[in-house]
Amino acid sequence: QVHLVESGGGVVQPGTSLKLSCETSGFIFSNYAMHWVRQAPGKGLEWVAIIWYDGTSKFHADSLKGRFTISRDISKSTIYLQMNSLRVEDTGVYYCARGLGGDGYTSFDDWGQGTLVTVSS
């Protein structure tokens, strides 16, 4: 059974950094693309980043303006989201999701429960 467990959220001040983790189990980690998706309070879903199965291809939403970086550790079956220069508008629940396949051309088949990031002074 696929499990995705996010952690690392919390309350931080604007301009600071935070690193989220998504620990996975129940599938062969190196075979699947992984995503980060966020949801501001009371708002819709916004795709944030993807890392392909081989770890060599990574893409981020243009709206982030280079502040966020996705990465992974195969030995821990975990993906990360390094978030720098945080802004109030980055507040929300951050979900990790597993792609149906290894590349970026599949739906998001499994989702974690999310971790809440609050950016406030």
Binding site for another protein (CB under 8 A): 35, 37, 44-47, 50, 59, 61-62, 95, 100, 104-114
Q: Which is nearer to another protein, 43 or 75 (CB)?
A: 43
Residues 6 or more apart whose CB falls under 8 angstroms from that of 121 comprise 13, 14, 88
The CB-of-13 to another protein minimum distance in angstroms stands at 27
The CB-of-14 to another protein minimum distance in angstroms stands at 25
Q: Which is nearer to another protein, 13 or 65 (CB)?
A: 65
The CB-of-12 to another protein minimum distance in angstroms stands at 22
The CB-of-6 to another protein minimum distance in angstroms stands at 10
Tokens standing for 71?
A: 């990465």
Burial of 59 from C-beta contacts in 10 A (0-12 / 13-18 / 19+): middle
Q: Which is nearer to another protein, 61 or 85 (CB)?
A: 61
Question: Cα dist. 53→28, 48, 77, 84 in Å?
Answer: 10, 17, 12, 25
